[in-house]
Amino acid sequence: MANTTVDPSSSASEALPTIPGSEELIERLRRENAQLRAELAELRSARAPVPGNVGWESEMASGIVYSDDRSHTSAKSAGRLLTQLSGLSKERMKAGKIRNSDEFDYLPKPSADEAQLEADFIRWGYCLVADAMTPEQIKAQVDRILDQAAAERSEGVAIMTNARDAGQLVNNLVLKGQVFRDAVEFKETAAQRGPLIDRLLTKVMGEGFGLGCAHGSIVHEGGGLQELHIDQGGLPMPYPPYPFGSLIIWCYTDFNLDAGGTYIVPGSHRTPSGSTSFHEGVDLLQLLDAEPGLVSICAPPGTCILTDTRVLHCGGRRTASGTRYAMRCHYNRKFIRALHEQSVANVHVPDDVYAVLSDRLKDMMGITQNNANPVGEMSSR
């Protein structure tokens, strides 16, 4: 199996493959990938109905084949498909093959025009809300994140997302400051274009959508790189013609290739008819090699990036000096329970109730970790 250790720097509600450290590892992953593909093809041919002979009898005789019986990231979810792309974000970045999104006229640019934002979101799987926060609003949040991050480091509870400490994730921001609580629920006082973003997300996910996670992302020079993924990869396929959720990224500082702006494959989320690009047998590499391919999102501070959870993307490596600051919030349709245990978020069940839950129930509710002493608002001053 490919290395599917949880990537602590990701907002995806699933385990993601981590970036391999060496060329040999990439080579090994490729071999494993080829082997998995062969296994999958074998399974498919064994289970495939004889053409022209699809009917209840043959379907019933095949039995229940909705999963691979091995994992929640099964053959019927996109997780396994994504192993095709192991190591590619690093490879393309090193080969200088990733371009800035603003080199392409037709790709989304920051805008406050709602119709344009909707059109961008549909066509490219993301849109950029211009000036979503004022410089003062950014400052209030960055100040709080810096203070919290420093305090978590000095208390020994920091989540470092890079082996050389070039990245830190400040998880569960809802517990860590009123400014974040306000921004997460789109209050104008925390983010001037919050209500516009709220409206757009309601169009994406329907009313009452839930929060999967909200965390601060701190990326220094050399940090930030993730494996290419989608943010609904753990959900079973085939996908309906709409996303299950949306990851939004509040840019506190500049986003572009050197700054570690999000890598994305614009348009990888769907076809014009609405069908998903993620299905059994898909060649995801083709998506990467077609125009515009893998690009880095360009956006000035204050922009809010809204993404369709089906679009291929990942954190980009910062090569410039200095630091990229952002807040990432993952929202889901109301019926999807927020499952984000890697960030120890959502541990909000009272202790006395938690104590009487069976392991199975805890697992089903996504609360197998109960943090009785969550890290709340802190100050190093």
Cis peptide before 272 (omega within 30 of 0): no
Residue 263: exposed, middle, or buried by beta-carbon count in 10 A (0-12, 13-18, 19+)? Answer: buried
Q: What SS3 state is found at 185?
A: coil
Q: Running DSSP on this structure, what letter comes out for residue 344?
A: T
The interface with ligand AKG within residues 191-220 (CB under 6 A) comprises 217
- In the block, residue with structure tokens 């379907």: 59
Spatial distance between the Cα atoms of 117 and 316, rounded to a whole number of angstroms: 23
- Which of ligand AKG, Fe ion, none sits in contact with 217, Cβ below 5 to 8 A by type? ligand AKG
Count of residues that bind ligand AKG according to CB under 6 A: 13
Q: x/- string (CB under 6 A) for ligand AKG, residues 249-288?
A: x------------x--------------------------
Which of 270, 206, 273 has its CA nearest to residue 232? Answer: 270
The interface with Fe ion within residues 224-243 (CB under 5 A) comprises 231
Pick the closer one to ligand AKG by CB: 209 or 250: 250
Q: Which range, of 6-14, 57-65, 107-115, 197-205, touches ligand AKG by CB under 6 A?
A: 6-14
Beta strands 295-296 and 99-100 are parallel
Residue 378: exposed, middle, or buried by beta-carbon count in 10 A (0-12, 13-18, 19+)? Answer: middle
Q: Which range, of 110-118, 126-134, 309-317, 358-366, touches ligand AKG by CB under 6 A?
A: 309-317
- Which of Fe ion, ligand AKG, none sits in contact with 262, Cβ below 5 to 8 A by type? ligand AKG
Min dist CB 215 to ligand AKG, Å, is 8
- Which of Fe ion, ligand AKG, none sits in contact with 328, Cβ below 5 to 8 A by type? ligand AKG
In sequence order, the 6+-apart residues with CB closer than 8 A to the CB of 172 are: 213, 214, 215, 343, 344, 345, 374, 375
Q: Which range, of 4-12, 139-147, 158-166, 179-187, touches ligand AKG by CB under 6 A?
A: 4-12
The greatest distance separating any two alpha carbons of the chain, rounded to the nearest whole angstrom, comes to: 73
Min dist CB 209 to Fe ion, Å, is 17
Q: Which range, of 9-17, 176-184, 191-199, 269-277, touches ligand AKG by CB under 6 A?
A: 9-17
Pick the closer one to ligand AKG by CB: 311 or 347: 311
Count of residues that bind Fe ion according to CB under 5 A: 2
Question: How many other CB atoms are there within 10 angstroms of residue 99's CB atom?
Answer: 15
Spatial distance between the Cα atoms of 377 and 147, rounded to a whole number of angstroms: 10
- Which of Fe ion, ligand AKG, none sits in contact with 80, Cβ below 5 to 8 A by type? none
Question: Which residues contact Fe ion (rule: CB under 5 A)?
Answer: 12, 231
Question: Which residues contact ligand AKG (rule: CB under 6 A)?
Answer: 10-12, 217, 226, 231, 247, 249, 262, 313-315, 328
